[in-house]
Amino acid sequence: MVWGVLQTVLGGVNKHSTSIGKIWLTVLFICIMILVVAAERVWGDEQQDFVCNTLQPGCKNVCYDHFFPISHIRLWALQLIFVSTPALLVAMHVDTRHEKKRRFRNGEKIDIGELKNEKIHIRGPLWWTYTSSIFFRIVFEAVFMYVFYYMYDGYQMPLVKCDAWPCPNTVDCFVSRPTEKTTFTIFMLAVSGICMMLNLAELCLVIKVCMKESRKPIILK
């Protein structure tokens, strides 16, 4: 996967975020860097390193597919894509507004560069887009955390006991570097928890400011 493209796009989203949103994006960038630099090397060709104490043809493949139906790396990649997509909707909304203003302002065309330097107020339709994006980010983070817990036995990498066909009996299968992978998995899930808390804090911020009519609207700097 070309992570540089995702980083470039998210870099453009950064200028359309609140201060808490900028912190969330920073944490997301760190996750991408860790996934690119470390995670892919830790897992690698995981099925090749999966060993069972039997020579029965097909037993190893069936057991691996049963206990690890989706690769950690692919699931994390899918999580990052889903979590970052709502933020892109906000950037698209702001760009659409800029385009409309660029075409006509008091009947005269203006330069798009000047509009991009203007401060954007989160109100009206943009408020709904921004709030919805935060809500869906929280939902996606929670769903993927549950998926990891459900699919990987509470985030652990234990000894696997398999009796699926065509295994002749209950066989023991071993995951390479289980402690390292368990630690790495817990770390990535802890980062997801931090992202959820940041999203909750930002959601409370935009709702609180919106409900107080006497206060000024939030400004995206």
Q: What is the reported pLDDT for 135?
A: 92
Mean pLDDT of 71-84: 85
CB 157 within 8 A of CB 181: yes
Residues 6 or more apart in contact with residue 101 via CB below 8 angstroms: 110, 115
* Strands 51-52 and 171-174, sheet pairing: antiparallel
Q: What is the reported pLDDT for 62?
A: 87
Mean pLDDT of 74-82: 86
Higher pLDDT pick, 86 / 140: 140
Q: What is the reported pLDDT for 115?
A: 45
- The answer, yes or no, to whether residue 112 has pLDDT greater than 50, is no
Instruction: For residue 211, give the H/E element and its range.
Output: helix 178-211
Higher pLDDT pick, 201 / 36: 201
CB 172 within 8 A of CB 53: yes
CB 145 within 8 A of CB 192: yes
